[in-house]
Amino acid sequence: MNQRQLFLQHVAQTSPAPIALEIIRAQGIYQYNVNGKAYTDLISGFSVANIGHSHPKVVEAVQKQAAEYMHLIVYGEFIEAPQVAYAKLLTDYLPATLNSVYFTNSGAEATEGAMKLAKRVTGRSKIIAFNKSYHGSTQGALSVMGSEYWRNAFRPLLPDVYHYDYGSQQAIDAIDNTVCCVILETVQAESGVTAPAKEWVEAIREKCDRHCALLILDEIQAGFGRTGTLWAFEQFKVVPDILLLGKALGGGMPLGAFIADKKLMNTLTYDPVLGHITTFGGHPVSCAAGKAALEVLLEGGYISTVKKKEQLMLSLIRHPSIKKIKSCGLWASLEFDSFETNKKVIELCIEKGLITDWFLFAPECLRIAPPLIITEDQLSKVCLQINAAIHEITD
């Protein structure tokens, strides 16, 4: 029985027609299949591989830490150097009030922990979330997901969650002294890369302050340079009470985090003690990998090139069949007339060696989010390949 058959038989399937590429190696912006064919990763493993795949410094950090220890007690009485070092590095590059890091296994678990923290701090339960938002797929994160199509199949979910349109005045008006928290993506990912007005984010922040509600910003996809600054919230001149990170946080290893002021985080230590615990969150190998990846990102100067590459991408991708292009940094969506058209373009791109996909709440839009290390020459070639695929499908 070949690998494809074994994959379909023994690995749980989440869609009826998986892409099922058999990749055996990945390096830089490329992935290679069993026959040696190279595929350009245009989605960075859904914004995980911001510095590309298998960077030597990340691989070295993983190997070094694995040789020392792989698991002690992550949350207990043990001081684990990789976890401490990474928390210190992260907070060095965050505002002063984001000084305490709770590492989790994933972005979804960061969402879960942040909601618990907000309830604990405020003593309230009402949560404001947004339509077409994505914060993970566990039951708490699913409760704040912005799509009834996905929520309805798994009800009952968390009560007291209210959804509003992203960018709407209604959302601002809904914030009062009964609200526990507002949770939003700084740049909304799965609606097709939707950036809000700076004034709207500022108004949300001001209303939360006025009513002692916490602002949770989800940068699980938007963080680590994707939008052109290390953190997307830097461009909106606001600071969240709780920041959610994941995906690129682990440098390719599983890792998430919610980050807040220590005064807030300390509320999880009493009444009850062990108010939030995890067996593997902040795993030492994941933290070693993540720290090495962040150092590569910062030292390589890749973030400073993002806006220029964004403009290059926008100047080169052109076709009458594209109804709209939305972008924020090295992150874009191409809107077509239907999912059917988009799917054909995606399939042809994959056939030609470009790994891309659609968006959860915008299936008519093609996703572009290559590793930030992509060169201008490589990006130019990719854009021309996309144009050619669109031409072949639609003309």
Distance between CA atoms of residues 345 and 156, nearest Å: 38
Q: 275: which 2 tokens?
A: 């108010």
Q: 6: which 2 tokens?
A: 């074994």
> Residue 261: CB partners within 8 Å, gap ≥ 6?
97, 98, 99, 100, 241
CB 369 within 8 A of CB 226: yes
Same domain, 274 and 214: yes
Same domain, 187 and 285: yes
Same domain, 217 and 308: no
Per-residue model confidence (pLDDT) at position 209: 98
Domain boundary residue among 299, 316, 351?
Answer: 299
Query: CATH code at 40?
Result: 3.90.1150.10
Pairing between β-strand 30-33 and β-strand 332-335 as defined by DSSP bridges: unpaired
Distance between CA atoms of residues 208 and 181, nearest Å: 8
Q: What is the separation of C-alpha 102 from the centre of its chain, rounded to a whole number of angstroms? A: 17
| Number of independent structural domains in the chain | 2
> Residue 352: CB partners within 8 Å, gap ≥ 6?
385, 388, 389
DSSP reduced 3-state for 254: coil
- Nearest one of 132, 30, 99, 166 to 144, comparing CA atoms: 132
Per-residue model confidence (pLDDT) at position 176: 98
Same domain, 92 and 185: yes
- Nearest one of 15, 18, 36, 31 to 355, comparing CA atoms: 31
Which mean pLDDT values do the consecutive 10-residue runs of the chain (395 residues) have? Answer: 79 79 94 96 96 98 97 83 97 98 97 98 98 97 96 95 98 98 98 98 98 98 98 97 98 98 96 92 97 98 98 97 98 98 97 96 98 98 97 93
Same domain, 266 and 199: yes
Q: 187: which 2 tokens?
A: 């740049």
Distance between CA atoms of residues 196 and 200, nearest Å: 7
Same domain, 156 and 264: yes
Tokens 């996909």 correspond to what residue?
357
CB 326 within 8 A of CB 194: yes
CB 43 within 8 A of CB 243: no
CB 211 within 8 A of CB 175: yes
Tell me the angle at which helices 284-299 and 56-68 cross, rounded to the nearest 10 degrees: 150
Per-residue model confidence (pLDDT) at position 170: 98
Distance between CA atoms of residues 135 and 4, nearest Å: 31
Helix (H) or strand (E) holding 95: none
Per-residue model confidence (pLDDT) at position 19: 78
Q: Kindly write down the DSSP assignment for every residue of 260-314, as one continuous string.
A: E-HHHHGGGGSSSTTSS--SSTT-HHHHHHHHHHHHHHHHTT-GGGHHHHHHHHH
Same domain, 178 and 62: yes
DSSP reduced 3-state for 180: strand
Q: 337: which 2 tokens?
A: 């007339």
Domain hosting residue 181, numbered range: 56-299
Query: CATH code at 180?
Result: 3.40.640.10
Q: What angle do CA 366, 371, 372 make, to 5 degrees?
A: 115
Same domain, 117 and 138: yes
Same domain, 82 and 165: yes
Same domain, 25 and 75: no
- Nearest one of 191, 138, 147 to 167, comparing CA atoms: 191
Cβ atoms within 10 A of the Cβ of 60, count? 13
Distance between CA atoms of residues 359 and 382, nearest Å: 19
Per-residue model confidence (pLDDT) at position 74: 72
Same domain, 132 and 273: yes
- Nearest one of 214, 142, 134, 156 to 180, comparing CA atoms: 214
Give the global pTM. Answer: 0.96
Per-residue model confidence (pLDDT) at position 7: 80
- Nearest one of 94, 365, 379 to 239, comparing CA atoms: 94
Domain boundary residue among 299, 329, 363?
Answer: 299
Domain boundary residue among 254, 279, 299?
Answer: 299
Same domain, 15 and 77: no
Amino acid at 39: Y
